[in-house]
Amino acid sequence: MNIEKKNGVTYLTFNLLKKAGVRHGFSTKLGGVSEGCFSSLNLGFGRGDLDENVRENFKRITGALGIDYERLCFSKQTHTNNVIIVNEEDAGNGISKPRPYDNVDGLVTNVLDLPLVIFTADCIPLFLYDPVENVIGAAHSGWRGTAGKIGKVTVEKMCSEFGSRPENILCCIGPGICRDCYEVSSDVTEKFVDAFGRENADKIIRRSVYNPDDPSKYMLDLWMACRLNFLEAGITEEHIEVTDYCTKCHSELFYSHRIMGNKRGSMAGFISL
């Protein structure tokens, strides 16, 4: 990934998507007007920040990315693996009008200038682009969504609805909490064993580095799990880009739920045709 700065706003971009000419970006917490625990580029409504601050922050990041603020289309995240198709009538959902859907952690569209927006603060943002059929997708992949294989579900939605072929799709896995920071309990890892099988689960689960003598604590590698989901969906290795920016390790750049709890802002991922 690349760290970029424009008009005072700091954000990240992927090499795969930049080379393909796709407008996209993942926000940091730098370059906004929010204060206190929301300082400064908070993009989360309903967290306790002033709405006017959040709107100004969106105007700044969309201006930097060259994306139409008025046409943003938000997810409505509840840690599911639900992915929906959005169309022209969905322009503005979440920013200028209410979202007519709930429990939606992934969005797919082939509509030009309809920016898809997902939110994270340790969970993994996923960005997808099919340059052949001109289709994009964005998904929020927390541990529940990752165990539910939302990355694979998004690929399958692009293929079933728009005729995409997995071998053509570019998939990018963005900043989130890394395997060295993400400690979980055994009830979580059991979900991954069930979803991935023991052989693949061994690639993403290891004994806790914080509590090595506690058999109920483990470290979970969400980045690897997301990669495995894309590979299972038929994406080729060369079409997968994975960040090395951890939201907890790089708390100077990102909001981290593990560090800050609920008193924090949110980052957002943007992608637009």
Each residue of 143-157: pLDDT tens digit?
999 999 999 999 999
What is the predicted pLDDT for the residue at 121? 96
For the chain, how are helix, strand and coil distributed in percent, rounded to 5? 30, 25, 40
Q: Which of 73, 170, 159 is nearest to 129 (CA)?
A: 170
pLDDT tens profile 92-133: 999 999 999 999 999 999 999 999 999 999 999 999 999 999
pLDDT tens profile 187-244: 999 999 999 999 999 999 999 999 999 999 999 999 999 999 999 999 999 999 999 9
For 213, list phi and psi in degrees, rounded to 5: -95, 0
What is the predicted pLDDT for the residue at 265? 97
CB 79 within 8 A of CB 141: no
CB 224 within 8 A of CB 179: yes
Mean pLDDT across 35-63: 98
Stated as kind and residue range, the H or E segment containing 200 is helix 186-204
What is the predicted pLDDT for the residue at 61? 98
What is the predicted pLDDT for the residue at 41? 98
Q: In what order do the strands lie in the sheet with 135-141?
A: 83-85, 106-109, 135-141, 124-130, 170-173, 240-242
Stated as kind and residue range, the H or E segment containing 220 is strand 217-220
Reported confidence tier of residue 56, pLDDT bands at 50, 70, 90? very high
Reported confidence tier of residue 259, pLDDT bands at 50, 70, 90? very high
Half-sphere exposure of 187 (CA within 13 A, CB side): 0
CB 181 within 8 A of CB 250: no
Distance CA 263, CA 255 (A): 10
Is the pTM of the predicted complex or chain greater than 0.85? yes
Mean pLDDT across 243-254: 97
| Beta strands 116-120 and 73-74, pairing class | parallel
Reported confidence tier of residue 33, pLDDT bands at 50, 70, 90? very high
Q: Looking at the domain covering 2-178+237-272, what would its CATH class be? A: alpha beta
Domain ranges of the chain: 2-178+237-272
Average pLDDT, the chain: 97
